[in-house]
Amino acid sequence: MKEINIIGMGMSDKTVTWEALELIHEADILIGAKRLLNDLSYLNKPSYNSYLSNEIAEIIEKTDASKIAILVSGDVGFYSAAEKLVETLKEYKPNLISGISSVSYFFAKCNLPWKDAKLISCHGIDTNIVSSVRRNEYTFALTGKNIPDLGKELIKFGFGDLKVWVGENLGSEEEFISSCKICDLCSKEYSSLTVLIIENPNFDSRNRIGISDDEFIRGKVPMTKLEVRSVCMSKLSISPNDIAYDIGCGTGSVTIEMGLSAYDGKVFAFDKNEEAIGLLEQNCEKFHLDNVKAICGLAPECLQDLPIPNVVFIGGSSGNMDEIVNYLYGINNKLRFVITAVTIENAMAALNSLKSIGINGEIVQVAVSKGRKIGDLHMLMAQNPIFIISGCGFDEGNID
């Protein structure tokens, strides 16, 4: 059996560990990107310039070498080519040799701790950088040539004054480390090999459920009120990486709480009313939510060609309940539904729609009375009762 070591090379030849060097010296051949091989050219070992998993597998299959070192940049466990290599070369049972990652290297250069930092990649990956910054004191981000765009996104959601450390070409002779405010990122050019550390001393990691109605920017568009919203969110049971839909989003109070809960996921909010979409976008900026996409249109037509949801809240269907429920169940038969209705007829329509796809929906009525001060006394003022219908697909307990 050929011995294959996938070796994290750190930032440069200056940051290679002693263990890695020993295995490199023992290797019969080296495989890796040209930049990494050039740092070891003094060894005069047979070398193959390749970083694609399938190409590397072909080289290994054809070579007679018994000890092979595959070189990858940084650390093998942090957004590394090693992950795909391990899967591609699993028949050889490759060994992983850890290296010094850009995370530990850069935090040390900036004299900062990183044990609680949020680590993300914005390099060719759709990520929620605003949500990460909102929730964490320190956010470390791998970037490409997109730093001005990241700066604009953070400024849009109110983080323009935060401090950011910028590390370019770490570990090389061209290494340059600087710091500035987020708002300054848009006016400069940076290397394609650049990482960021963003500091938010006022970070807020709470998953807020039951936000006061007064905190939302409101117009004449309907809004799901605090107490009802709290019950709905409990039944939705959203996970951090969920894809969630809010159909008939109105002002967006449910959307906002969805976005705060699905901070590593995405929320798609739909309404046929342009004013509602405008209010939602304003509320997203107020609550620092970049993981929400607002779409103006009528469901189910406006639901096409989007990521498949894990959970859906239907606050308004415009008479298309059957079509919406059937379409959603057709793309995910494990979907969690929560539907609200003000009238008995609409509540029954929601139950029947769920029943038509094999879900025995649960129905509860929420009737809230809020205290109002009248002189030295308090009087309870009743709000309209709301029906909440919920159910989950592909659950034997829900099937007739």
State which residues of the chain have pLDDT below 70.
395-400
Domains identified in the chain and CATH numbers = 3-100 (3.40.1010.10), 103-199 (3.30.950.10), 213-398 (3.40.50.150)
Q: Which of 254, 260, 257, 361 is nearest to 314 (CA)?
A: 254
Give the residue numbers of the binding site for S-adenosyl-L-methionine: 224, 248-252, 271, 299
pLDDT digits (tens, 9 = 90+) for 125-155: 778 999 999 999 999 999 988 999 999 999 9
Query: How many whole angstroms separate alpha carbon 18 and alpha carbon 386?
Result: 66
Tell me, what's the pLDDT at 396? Answer: 44
Q: Which of 205, 215, 209 is nearest to 233 (CA)?
A: 209
Tell me, what's the pLDDT at 208? Answer: 92
Query: How many whole angstroms separate alpha carbon 354 and alpha carbon 394?
Result: 12
Tell me, what's the pLDDT at 343? Answer: 93
* Contacting residues for 150 by C-beta, under 8 A, at least 6 apart: 122, 129, 141, 143, 185, 196
Predicted model pTM? 0.87
Q: Rounded to 5 degrees, what are φ and ψ at 183?
A: -65, -15
Tell me, what's the pLDDT at 400? Answer: 46
Within 13 Å of residue 256, how many CA atoms lie on the same side as its CB? 31
Q: What is the DSSP letter of 389?
A: E
Tell me, what's the pLDDT at 370? Answer: 85
Residue with tokens 């494990």, as numbered in its chain: 334
Q: Which of 255, 249, 242, 244 is nearest to 270 (CA)?
A: 249
Sheet holding 3-8, edge to edge: 47-49, 29-32, 67-72, 3-8, 95-97
Alpha helix segments (H runs only) across the chain: 18-26, 34-38, 53-62, 82-88, 102-109, 129-135, 147-156, 226-236, 253-261, 274-286, 321-331, 344-356
Tell me, what's the pLDDT at 311? Answer: 97
Tell me, what's the pLDDT at 314? Answer: 97
Query: Residue 206 burial by CB count (10 A; 0-12/13-18/19+): exposed, middle or buried?
Result: exposed
Helices (H) and strands (E) in the chain, counts: 12, 19
Q: Which of 29, 32, 102 is nearest to 71 (CA)?
A: 32
Q: Which of 338, 344, 377 is nearest to 254 (CA)?
A: 338
Tell me, what's the pLDDT at 384? Answer: 87
Query: How many whole angstroms separate alpha carbon 270 and alpha carbon 361?
Result: 23
